[in-house]
Structure 1
Amino acid sequence: MQPEFNRPEFLEGNSAEEIHERMMNNLPDDIDDMPGGFPYDMTMPAALEKDEIINFHIVRALMIAFPEYAWDEWLDLHGRQVHLTRHEAEPAFGYVKITAAEGTEILSGTVFCTAATETGPSIEYATTEDAVVGSERSVLIPVSAVEAGTGSNVAANTVVLMMVPDKNVTEINNPEPIRGGTERETDDDFYDRIAAEYDNSMTYLGNDTDYKRWAKQAGAGDAIVIPVWNGPGTVKLVLVDGNGKPANAKLVQDVYNYIVSPNDRSARLLPTGTAELTCAAATTVAVNYVITGLSYDETTGVEQIKADFTEAVRAVYAQAKTEGVLRYNDVRPLISAIAGVEDFETFTMNGKMQNITLKSEEYPDTGTLNFS
């Protein structure tokens, strides 16, 4: 996360009023410096302009000079210095099962969608390859969301419509969740990758930190590194996406291709001494949270507290994954730190006030939130 910018001391004392006061003090003694006088009124615009240059433009110039404080396109330029680019929003990826008459052709680009609801419009998914329904009268087709972002992630059994109906198609369904849709990488997350690149100086040694960095560069949200998992020279990466959810098949393959580069050995990152790299989606452990006696002020509400908690607990998950345990005393203080929360009585994780142990390939995932 980017640190807070602290104004240098040499910029202090440069408000328009302070600048103008110095200007008036530097006038010859025989020149009128009273408010409303000609010299006073004619010099104030210059003081205002200098104020803007110092307190806005110079401050911004200092900030964009360092990746710790830069933002948007300026931070992107810092990323280019270490050969990194920001991850753009990604569409969700999954599979749709089509039941239809034998011989029915489903062309690449055919759009299927969810039903519109009171809370949002229909979400569209386009097939990524051609398919023909065989004698089994059904076919499983890969699809990608038409619009990228977290809004393209949907649960199983929700993609049930065809944008342009085909009389030969009798049933549409996605048997598994369609996931992997992420928003554009934030400045904080991109800075973390830039800082990690500087810290590791692009060593390409193949240590745990390198594997995690490579996985994130390929689009993963995080990775668990399991060395020698299948004998000497083998490494396994257990992956989650940018939302902290298990990586979908496309992301798993993208990470593998980025590190191994099977079609171009000159771009290979995998150390020669490593005979085998395996990439797999993480197994998640759902953590259900219950809070009773929650009190808060008028600046927030239960839904906003839930959203703030969900975001804050992700940082704790990253630490828990490394240590193999989600600690109760690491999560509980997050509630009190949320803006607007005044107090609460009890807090439980999966019905208990104790730590949750995680296996080597398990990653904690937020389940239900019951705050009252």
Structure 2
Amino acid sequence: MAQPEFIQPDFMQGSTEEEIHERMMANLPDDIDDMPGGFPYDFTMPAAIEKSEFINYHMARALMIAFPQYAWDDWLDLHGQQVHLPRQEAQHASGHIRITGTAGAEILAGTVFCTPATDSSPSLEFATDEDCTISEEGTVTVAVTAVESGTQSNVAAKTICIMAKPDKAVSEVINDEAVTGGTETESNDDYYDRIAAEYANSMTYLGNDSDYVRWAKEAGAGDCIVVSAADGPGTVKLVLVDRNGQPANETLIKDVYNYIVSPDDRAARLLPTACAKLSCVAATTVKITYECTGLSLDGTTDLEQVKKDFKAAVALVYDKAKNDSLLRYNDVRPLLSEISGVKDFATFTMNGGTTNIKLSQEEYPETGDMVFTE
């Protein structure tokens, strides 16, 4: 949810340069020249400019950073510190690669493997997490983590295929599955949502659904579905997605579990004592394709920007959809009309139709193809 827009209070109104200067001229004695170009007029104008800047810029900013609803960047971080809630840093993607080569050859931790560079993107580097040895069968699978953090470190299957420094003992390397989990630094809007939730929940540790969602997000998850009594009384399952809306990878699943259960430090445990078992799994995502025809734009935007704005808007609807186990057509269709620059459109479909899409308890909607035409 976006932070609310700051509206200047009444006592700051009427503070433009012209309004302030007009009041200053009106307060001059009647026998003093107040005509433009005169000495009093020119002498007081700089003061009016400075006062206007102080009120409309410096005072406005001071009021904004005093409240988390309007604060940003480092100022919002300070509000997060007040409730012991740090901003989520950019995360490194992680996954596994399969190395083929000479049996018995050792691959040290930190060995770098890469994707090939292309005309549109540089080579991406991934380092092995631990030492490993190629087996007698000539292969070994090892965990890797992206050298650079961010969403650009998420790569598709079969794209990590070269070594940064070639080794004669290695004949082939490949990632059989996608490497995921790379995220950008948490945005101000998302961070504010967590701070607001912390205040709203008064930092309870009862183990209700909102607590589990809050704890999962504190550990780095983008969202989660809470399945109570998943394996009987006293058990809870968390179905996780990362901050990109993608199914959580092994690293994120482990981070969320360890953060809540804290198996190595009982004193730091968040999981209520009455809960016998917590399990964390990756969400099953359901791709939703959107098609819109006859888009009429006012010239202030283009199709690519409309797609980008729509994708961001519909992601907020997914939160409600996963709670209701239903993505409603009438919740999604109006989003297109609300996008700046969109005047009208002819047809709009979800997965080829105009009906609601049902979701199972552990399914999370994901935006697939968007075919928008004018």
TM-score interval, normalised by the smaller of the two chains: over 0.9
Per-residue displacement from partner, 1:241-273 (whole Å, max 9, x unpaired)? 001100010000000011111111111110000
**SS at structure 2 position matched to 1:159:** coil
**SS at structure 2 position matched to 1:329:** helix
Distance 2:114 2:332 in 1: 38
| 1:48 to partner: Cα distance | 0.8
Per mean C-alpha deviation after superposition, the further-off stretch among 99-108 and 288-297 is 288-297
Aligned to 1:220: 221
Per-residue displacement from partner, 1:266-287 (whole Å, max 9, x unpaired)? 1111000001100111011111
Alignment map for 1:352-363 (pairs within 5 Å): 352-363=353-364
The one-letter code sitting in structure 1 at the alignment partner of 2:205 is Y
| 1:151 to partner: Cα distance | 1.0
Distance 1:231 1:151 in 2: 40
| 1:61 to partner: Cα distance | 0.3
| 1:69 to partner: Cα distance | 0.3
Aligned to 1:266: 267
Aligned to 1:145: 146
Distance 2:259 2:225 in 1: 17
Distance 2:181 2:61 in 1: 35
* Structure 1, gaps ≥5 residues long: none
Aligned to 1:14: 15
Alignment map for 1:16-95 (pairs within 5 Å): 16-95=17-96
Matched, 1:319 2:320: yes
**SS at structure 2 position matched to 1:319:** helix
**SS at structure 2 position matched to 1:332:** helix
| 1:75 to partner: Cα distance | 0.4
| 1:344 to partner: Cα distance | 2.2
Aligned to 1:184: 185
Q: CA RMSD in A?
A: 1.1
Per-residue displacement from partner, 1:181-233 (whole Å, max 9, x unpaired)? 11111110000000000000011010000000000011100000001110111
Alignment map for 1:272-351 (pairs within 5 Å): 272-351=273-352
| 1:147 to partner: Cα distance | 1.1
Distance 1:186 1:222 in 2: 14
Distance 2:304 2:29 in 1: 63
* Runs (4+) off by over 4 Å: none
The one-letter code sitting in structure 2 at the alignment partner of 1:278 is S
**SS at structure 2 position matched to 1:284:** strand
Distance 1:294 1:27 in 2: 59
Aligned to 1:246: 247
Distance 1:300 1:203 in 2: 45
The one-letter code sitting in structure 1 at the alignment partner of 2:352 is G
Cα 1:249/1:62, change in 2 over 3 Å: same
Per-residue displacement from partner, 1:45-97 (whole Å, max 9, x unpaired)? 11111111111000000000000000000000000011100011111111111
| 1:302 to partner: Cα distance | 2.3
Aligned to 1:206: 207
Aligned to 2:371: 370
**SS at structure 1 position matched to 2:312:** helix
Per mean C-alpha deviation after superposition, the further-off stretch among 34-43 and 184-193 is 34-43
Distance 2:304 2:169 in 1: 44
Aligned to 1:135: 136
With normalisation by structure 2, the TM-score equals: 0.97
Distance 2:25 2:275 in 1: 73
The one-letter code sitting in structure 1 at the alignment partner of 2:143 is P
**SS at structure 1 position matched to 2:161:** strand
Distance 1:254 1:58 in 2: 42
**SS at structure 2 position matched to 1:125:** strand
Distance 2:256 2:176 in 1: 25
Distance 2:125 2:76 in 1: 32
Distance 2:258 2:218 in 1: 12
Alignment map for 1:107-122 (pairs within 5 Å): 107-122=108-123
| 1:34 to partner: Cα distance | 1.7
**SS at structure 2 position matched to 1:317:** helix
Distance 1:90 1:7 in 2: 37
Distance 2:340 2:114 in 1: 38
Distance 2:372 2:48 in 1: 53
The one-letter code sitting in structure 1 at the alignment partner of 2:88 is H
The one-letter code sitting in structure 2 at the alignment partner of 1:51 is S
**SS at structure 2 position matched to 1:290:** strand
The one-letter code sitting in structure 2 at the alignment partner of 1:212 is V
Distance 1:286 1:212 in 2: 23
Distance 2:298 2:181 in 1: 36
The one-letter code sitting in structure 2 at the alignment partner of 1:112 is F
